[in-house]
Amino acid sequence: MVDGKPASRVKVHSTLTAVSSTPVGPGTTRRLSPLDCAMRAHSCHVVFYYRNSPLGSFELDPLRVSLSEVLSAYPVATGRLRWAGEADGGEWEVKCNDAGVRVLRAKVSVSMDEWLGTADGEEERDLMAWEDLPDDPHIWSPFRIQLNEFEGGGIAIGISCTHMIADLTSIALLFKSWTDVHRKRPLEFPPSFSECPASSLLTENSCHRFALNKSSCVGGPQKVKMETRTFKFSEHALGPPMEVLRGEIPGVTQFDFLSAIFWAGISRIKNQTGSTGNLAISIAMDGRKSVKNTQPLCYFGNSVHFSLLQTNVADPRDNLQETVRLVHEHVSRIAEEQNRAVANGLYRNVLPNGKQEAQMEIYGEQLTFVNMEHLVIKGKAGDASILYEATFNDGDAPLHVSCGIRGVGSKGVIVIVPEGGIARTVHVTLPDEEMADLLRDKTISELKPTLMLST
């Protein structure tokens, strides 16, 4: 026991630095945008679980060789953050100096099945190497990878980065590129670092209102004890309700349906605990595929856009189908409105100036739903998920993928992740007193989700 907590079942036994096989050219830098800087309070984390480990002796293993090869295409990942141009007011940038990515190796003292059945969201953090951004980050690695080998076989690969440099989509595609290189295949999503052109038009929409709202919410994340649970919804569970909804709401997605269900359940909980008024939510959507955005899906950086949604219904469960419709219509409208250049302009107007500026709560200042539907690949054999297409060996897809954001506000964050087909994984982070009530929600329970990492 350490400070009243059980000893960790994850023991790190070695650390090294992986550098790119092709050094980056001298003097290469990448300036961070206002949207990047707005994410300073947050970090992104993804864990891929594999039943069969591709790992040998990593120091001499082909897995390390393929990592070095793929890092040659991602100079930002191996660089270091710095505050530059003080004479002109200063700005954050990445110095692409090929300083490398920290790689940790660890042993887990239980089997993968026992871990998935007994660990919780807090313990899963032990699978991810991370240190918060220091005051002087010139030797601090903004990307970290941890290789966790389970007793009896299997591996969990945790990859983490500061949200100032990349979002969850960027992590997913970098990891997918690593598996492509390891299998000696061309990169399916070669990274792009180009910015989309500036926009001269700023429209009054819900994205605009969200950014303006941030001007009154500057400060560090609140100190509320949060808890994370993982709900896995099978194709069998989601099939019947989705079939009904598609007959009523053309184009409806699993994100629309699951967001409505969790919004309704959490609204009920907050009303029972004395909260008044309607619960507004924030929806985080990827902007790479939006109508007005010129960025490709493989853009490496931040392209997450946030918007506010509120209902006039006191309890969204009063008419769940209409709540699903409300979410769907909002998401469809935002997909056409959003533009990265507009978002940068908005955040530039509300961000404090200076290296030590206060940090904004982007995730969790309102209950935030993160939409990952853009990672679905349509195919003749059905829908696939880029996350579950990341395979080091043919036929050995991830058993499970966890996605999360740290540094969130007290209202909570819900990340809805496609598994392939219509199955979805929902990662829920809420104040612990609300999570106990959510687990008893009747509508959610009727879908018979499998709880993982949720003791």
Tens of pLDDT, residues 373-400: 999 998 767 789 999 999 999 889 999 9
CATH class, domain 206-452, is alpha beta
Place 179 in a pLDDT band, splitting at 50, 70 and 90: very high
Give percent of the chain above pLDDT 90: 62
Place 157 in a pLDDT band, splitting at 50, 70 and 90: very high
Q: What is the mean pLDDT of residues 205-234?
A: 67
CA–CA separation, 115 and 153 (whole Å): 12
Q: Which range among 212-226, 263-277, 297-311, 416-430 has the greatest average pLDDT?
A: 416-430
Q: C-alpha angle with apex 452: 451 to 455, nearest 5 degrees?
A: 85
Place 305 in a pLDDT band, splitting at 50, 70 and 90: confident
Task: Supply the pLDDT for residue 221.
Answer: 47
At residue 190, does pLDDT exceed 80? yes
Q: Are 99 and 18 in contact (CB under 8 A)?
A: no
Give the least confident one: 134-143, 172-181, 187-196, 435-444: 187-196
Task: Supply the pLDDT for residue 25.
Answer: 85
Instruction: Provide the sign of the torsion angle of the four alpha carbons 375, 346, 193, 44, taken in this order.
Output: negative
Strand partners, 81: 94
If 0-12 CB within 10 Å is exposed, 13-18 middle and 19+ buried, where does residue 297 land?
middle
* Greatest C-alpha distance within the chain: 62
Task: Supply the pLDDT for residue 278.
Answer: 66
If 0-12 CB within 10 Å is exposed, 13-18 middle and 19+ buried, where does residue 275 land?
exposed
Task: Supply the pLDDT for residue 215.
Answer: 44
Distances in Å between the Cα of 380 and the Cα atoms of 25, 292, 366, 377, 384 are 42, 28, 39, 10, 10
Task: Supply the pLDDT for residue 58.
Answer: 54
Q: Are 256 and 429 in contact (CB under 8 A)?
A: no
Q: What is the pLDDT of residues 328-370, one digit of tens each?
A: 999 998 876 655 545 555 555 555 555 555 567 889 989 999 9
At residue 240, does pLDDT exceed 90? yes
Q: What is the mean pLDDT of residues 183-187?
A: 95
Q: What is the mean pLDDT of the chain?
A: 85
At residue 17, does pLDDT exceed 90? yes
At residue 73, does pLDDT exceed 90? yes
Q: Where are the beta strands (DSSP E) in 333-391?
A: 367-371, 376-377, 384-385
The first and second tokens of residue 243, run together, are 């079939």
Strand partners, 144: 102, 160
Q: What is the pLDDT of residues 91-134, one digit of tens each?
A: 899 999 999 999 999 999 999 999 999 999 999 999 999 999 88
Q: DSSP of 190-208, one letter per residue?
A: --B-PPPPP-S----SHHH
Residue type at 105? R
Q: What is the mean pLDDT of residues 198-226?
A: 51
Task: Supply the pLDDT for residue 359.
Answer: 66
Place 411 in a pLDDT band, splitting at 50, 70 and 90: very high
- Assign residue 251 a region (left: φ > 0; alpha: ψ between -120 and 50; beta: otherwise): left
| Burial profile 193-205: b = 16 or more Cβ within 10 angstroms, e = fewer | eebbeebeeeeeb
Task: Supply the pLDDT for residue 224.
Answer: 83
The first and second tokens of residue 67, run together, are 């990592």
Task: Supply the pLDDT for residue 347.
Answer: 56
Task: Supply the pLDDT for residue 48.
Answer: 98
Place 218 in a pLDDT band, splitting at 50, 70 and 90: very low
Smallest Cα–Cα separation from 354: which of 122, 77, 73, 37? 37
Which CATH superfamily groups domain 10-182?
A: Chloramphenicol acetyltransferase-like domain (3.30.559.10)
Q: What is the mean pLDDT of residues 304-323?
A: 79
Task: Supply the pLDDT for residue 201.
Answer: 29
Give the least confident one: 126-130, 156-160, 251-255, 276-280: 276-280
Residue 327, H or E segment: helix 320-337
Instruction: Provide the sign of the torsion angle of the four alpha carbons 121, 162, 202, 295, taken in this order.
Output: negative
Task: Supply the pLDDT for residue 334.
Answer: 82
Task: Supply the pLDDT for residue 346.
Answer: 54
Instruction: Provide the sign of the torsion angle of the four alpha carbons 317, 319, 320, 325, taken in this order.
Output: negative
Strand partners, 418: 424
CATH 3.30.559.10 region(s) of the chain? 10-182, 206-452
At residue 89, does pLDDT exceed 80? no
